[in-house]
Structure 1
Amino acid sequence: MDNFNENYIIELVKKELNRYLTAQGIDIKKEVCLLGNDNEIKEQLSQKFNFSENARTLVVSQLSLKNLYNISNAIYENEYEEKIIKFLLENKEIVIIKEGIEYSKYESIPVAVQKKYEEYIEKVKSYGIKIENKDFYINSLTKKEEVYSKKLLDLNKLKELEAKAIRRIVVENSIVTSSAEEYAKDKNIEIIKRR
């Protein structure tokens, strides 16, 4: 119990310090942990984040078929998989880059085999792990914000904004449909209502 209290206090102090420094106009980079050797993602992440083993977010840029199988069964056999499972057990954010999953490199996979791999992907997603396209994830790092002031924000318009990698939408005097709110929640798109 003492360990829990200590970690809670450390996280609370970090949040308050970040809030104070932000209010003072000092920009603090957030932390992220990266698994894999994708240099493009590493470069993009380094512009916005500091790399840390204790980060709240883990980005996995490469995943072998064996890794995929083990993670879908919530087990690990090596340090690489152990890191992913530990982030999962600590209820931290995990993002797997879809193009980094080994089977995605093959074009003519037999349907039955592809279906099996997609079952593993669905199981992984059911744990709360996100699977994102590389370009979409890199674009979303900019945390683009859209101020939306038309009368109605519906599902179609929300999908258009998502395609532009907009992850935060500020609606002003607009009605947001329930289907758009559901979709935003599922896709981690932040909708802020301002009157």
Structure 2
Amino acid sequence: MSEQELVDIIKKEVEKYLSGNKSDENSKEKINFYGTDLILKQELEKKFIIEESANRVIVSEINIKNFVDLSLGTYSDEVGEKLLTYILSGKEIFIVEEGIEYRNYTDIPKKLLKKYEFYEKEILDYGIKIIKRVEVLENLKEKNRYFSGKLLDLKTLRKNYDENKKIIELSKETTITDLAKEFAETNGIKIIKR
């Protein structure tokens, strides 16, 4: 074997190795991250590619003004506009619970707290998910389905059942029939009320 043949073989092996690493990078799912929680962002970058055009968005924090605006379907600044654009574009949005500004206050007057909880319900009705920070990775790995109707019966559950989506999130007002619960248990579907 000549020296040139040996160099060509080594070159091909190196190219294979390098292209293998690129395909690993390309096989990562793309998500969008919005916010200033750099630790969470770094954790997500280990498993996902952070890209603006992704269809799933993690919002690490949201102030009270943008939270209220979002619940009303409007915006008053660039951040609010971006968040509303995500909703209007049909993106799957996750808001980190600990990043919701009003939740950081402990002595909120009851009447004001009820108002914020109303706004939160509106946001949930848009299909946005509010999740704990420690549950972000779990929620991104699991393909969830959100159901906000008043009643989840067996017929509705079967109609919405997807083998790839093993978690169904329900609004707090949704009632689940016993047959639907049994079907979920039999098929390994986790039902979470939010």
**Normalised by the shorter chain, which TM-score bucket?**
0.5 to 0.7
Aligned to 1:3: none
Number of residue equivalences? 136
CA distance change for structure 1 residues 125 and 47 in 2, over 3 Å: closer, same or farther? same
Aligned to 1:179: 181
Aligned to 2:149: none
Aligned to 1:65: 64
Aligned to 1:173: none
8 Å CA contact retained: 2:35, 2:61: yes
Aligned to 2:158: none
Matched, 1:29 2:28: yes
SS of 2:57 mapped into structure 1: strand
| CA distance in 1: counterparts of 2:184 and 2:136, whole angstroms | 20
Amino acid aligned to 1:95: F
Aligned to 1:114: 113
| CA distance in 2: counterparts of 1:140 and 1:76, whole angstroms | 27
1:96-128, Cα deviation, whole Å (9 max, x unpaired): 011100011111211111111110000001111
Scaled by the length of structure 2, the TM-score of the pair is 0.61
CA distance change for structure 1 residues 126 and 186 in 2, over 3 Å: closer, same or farther? farther
Amino acid aligned to 1:65: I
Matched, 1:94 2:93: yes
| CA distance in 1: counterparts of 2:37 and 2:140, whole angstroms | 16
Runs of at least 4 residues off by over 6 Å: none
| CA distance in 1: counterparts of 2:71 and 2:62, whole angstroms | 12
The Cα RMSD (Å) is 2.9
Scaled by the length of structure 1, the TM-score of the pair is 0.61
Aligned to 1:43: 42
Q: What runs of 5+ residues in structure 1 fail to find an aligned partner?
A: 1-24, 145-166, 170-175, 189-195
CA distance change for structure 1 residues 123 and 180 in 2, over 3 Å: closer, same or farther? farther
Amino acid aligned to 1:178: A
| CA distance in 2: counterparts of 1:43 and 1:110, whole angstroms | 36
Shift of 1:140: 3.8
8 Å CA contact retained: 1:59, 1:97: yes
SS of 1:45 mapped into structure 2: helix
Structure exhibiting the larger radius of gyration computed from Cα positions = 2
8 Å CA contact retained: 1:48, 1:141: no
| CA distance in 1: counterparts of 2:36 and 2:182, whole angstroms | 36
Shift of 1:138: 3.5
Once the two structures are aligned, what percentage of the paired residues are identical? 33
| CA distance in 1: counterparts of 2:52 and 2:61, whole angstroms | 17
